[in-house]
Amino acid sequence: MAAQDFATRDGRVVRLRPLRNSDLDSLFVFANKLAEEKRVNPDLGVVSFDRRMTRESEQEFLDETIRDCRTRNGVSVAAFAGGKMVGNCDVTRRRFKDVRHTGTLGIVILSEYRGVGLGEAMIRRALSEAKSLGVWLVELDVFSTNRRARALYRKMGFRKSGAVPMKIKRNGVFTDSVNMYARLDVH
């Protein structure tokens, strides 16, 4: 998919485009900023980034993402500002034939780019690309306490399908996980 420039609510320009091979350095820095945030912010609502990321782990993630896009098994929407990676969103299609019309969405944005409409722009683009691949049912899991993410998902058409009590345990504290789904064929 072509690159697309997005103006945030506070006037910054962010470029949305799929991840590519040359993004390893940016991805490595991005992932470690999140790992560092998670270390100091117990409220960060993501289960990944729970240790310092290595270049190898990020190369693996990059290879997988690029391969999924090439084989129409996934969608990648990364956000760049001033040459730095500031956000990542993907939809991963399920592999088995019976569920190939479904996928899972993940999104994470660096703290200084949250709250300015970027999440909405990234999800909008990711869902539109997923739909063009024939993925018309998208699911995600979100911490029940992640009010901002849940509000955004709802705005983007996701509805709650259920909750798993105590699915997350962080620093000895349990949190419920909420599952949401969006039907892309009816919007």
- Please identify, using beta-carbon distances, which residue of 9 and 22 lies nearer to ligand COA: 9
Q: What whole-number distance in Å separates Cα of residue 7 and Cα of residue 103?
A: 28
- The one among 24, 46, 66, 133 contacting ligand COA by CB under 6 A: 46
Alpha helices for the chain (secondary structure H) = 24-40, 55-70, 118-132, 147-155
165 phi/psi in degrees, rounded to 5 = -65, 140
Answer yes or no whether residue 115 interacts with ligand COA by CB under 6 A. Answer: yes
Answer yes or no whether residue 103 interacts with ligand COA by CB under 6 A. Answer: no
Answer yes or no whether residue 183 interacts with ligand COA by CB under 6 A. Answer: no
- The one among 15, 17, 94, 117 contacting ligand COA by CB under 6 A: 117
DSSP3 helix / strand / coil % (the chain, rounded to 5): 35, 35, 30
- Please identify, using beta-carbon distances, which residue of 9 and 70 lies nearer to ligand COA: 9
User: Least distance from C-beta 137 to ligand COA, angstroms?
Assistant: 18
Q: What is the b/e burial string over 32-46, where b = at least 16 CB atoms within 10 angstroms of the residue's CB? A: ebbbebbeeeeebbb
User: Least distance from C-beta 14 to ligand COA, angstroms?
Assistant: 10
User: Least distance from C-beta 70 to ligand COA, angstroms?
Assistant: 26
Binding-site residue total for ligand COA (CB under 6 A)? 20
Q: Which residues contact 109 (CB under 8 A, 6 or more apart)?
A: 79, 86, 87, 88, 118, 119, 122
Do residues 92 and 73 make contact, with C-beta atoms less than 8 angstroms apart? yes
User: Least distance from C-beta 179 to ligand COA, angstroms?
Assistant: 11
Positions that interact with ligand COA (CB under 6 A): 44-46, 107-109, 114-115, 117-120, 142, 146-149, 151-152, 155
